[in-house]
Amino acid sequence: MRLEKKEIWFISIILMLIIALMMILINIWSSEQQNAAEDQSLPAAQSEEDSGMVLEPVEELTKQEESADASKSEAHLQSVNPHFPEDLPFPIEKTEGNLGDQFPLDKMSVKRISIMVSLDNGVRGYTVSPQSYRVLVQGLTSLNLSTTKTEMNSSALASDVYIRFHLDNEMYFIKYNLDSNTVELNGQHFYASRNLMSYLHLFCRPGTLLGMFGEMRGIDVNAEDAPAPQEDMTRVYDPERFKIQEKNFAEWSRYISSNSDYKEAYRYYSVSDDNMKTVRIHEEEGILSTPSTILFTKNNVSSPDGISIGMSEKEVLSMLGSPNLSQGNKWSYTINDDLKFNLYFTEENLRYITLTSE
Question: Which tens digits make up the pLDDT trace of 139-149?
Answer: 999 999 999 99
Residue 25 lies in a domain: no
Same domain, 79 and 166: yes
Q: What is the pLDDT of residue 152?
A: 80
Beta strand 171-177 with 88-89 is parallel
d(C-alpha 270, C-alpha 134), whole Å: 16
> Dihedrals φ, ψ of 181, to 5°?
55, 50
Same domain, 129 and 269: no
Q: What is the pLDDT of residue 37?
A: 33
**For residue 350, what is the domain's CATH number?**
2.60.460
Same domain, 252 and 353: yes
Burial of residue 118 (CB within 10 Å: 0-12, 13-18, 19+) is middle
Q: What is the pLDDT of residue 294?
A: 98
Same domain, 174 and 316: no
Residue 270 lies in a domain: yes
Per cent of the chain over pLDDT 90 is 58
Same domain, 54 and 181: yes
pLDDT tens digits for range 237-267: 999 999 999 999 999 999 999 999 999 989 9
Same domain, 104 and 177: yes
* DSSP alpha helix (H) spans, 47-188: 48-51, 74-77, 99-102, 133-141, 145-148
Same domain, 56 and 188: yes
Q: What is the pLDDT of residue 161?
A: 92
d(C-alpha 142, C-alpha 49), whole Å: 27
The pTM (predicted TM-score) of the whole model is: 0.77
d(C-alpha 171, C-alpha 87), whole Å: 5
Residue 220 lies in a domain: no
Boundary residue ending a domain (185, 204, 223)? 204
If we measure between CA atoms, which residue out of 292, 312, 316 comes closest to residue 242? Answer: 316
d(C-alpha 178, C-alpha 136), whole Å: 15
Q: What is the pLDDT of residue 73?
A: 39
Residue 240 lies in a domain: yes
Boundary residue ending a domain (164, 189, 204)? 204
Beta strand 339-346 with 330-334 is antiparallel
For residue 175, give the 3-state DSSP assignment.
strand
Residue 329 lies in a domain: yes
Residue 222 lies in a domain: no
Dihedral, 14, 19, 25, 27 alpha carbons, nearest 10: -150
Same domain, 306 and 175: no
d(C-alpha 319, C-alpha 322), whole Å: 10
- The structural domain count of the chain equals 2
Same domain, 271 and 337: yes
Same domain, 173 and 257: no
Same domain, 77 and 200: yes
Structural domain for 352, as ranges: 234-357
CB within 8 A of 162, min separation 6: which ones?
81, 83, 115, 116, 173, 174, 175, 176
Residue 133 lies in a domain: yes
Boundary residue ending a domain (158, 186, 204)? 204
Low-confidence ranges of the chain (pLDDT < 70): 1-10, 25-78, 119-121, 154-158
Same domain, 339 and 258: yes
If we measure between CA atoms, which residue out of 237, 222, 229 comes closest to residue 334? Answer: 237
Residue 20 lies in a domain: no
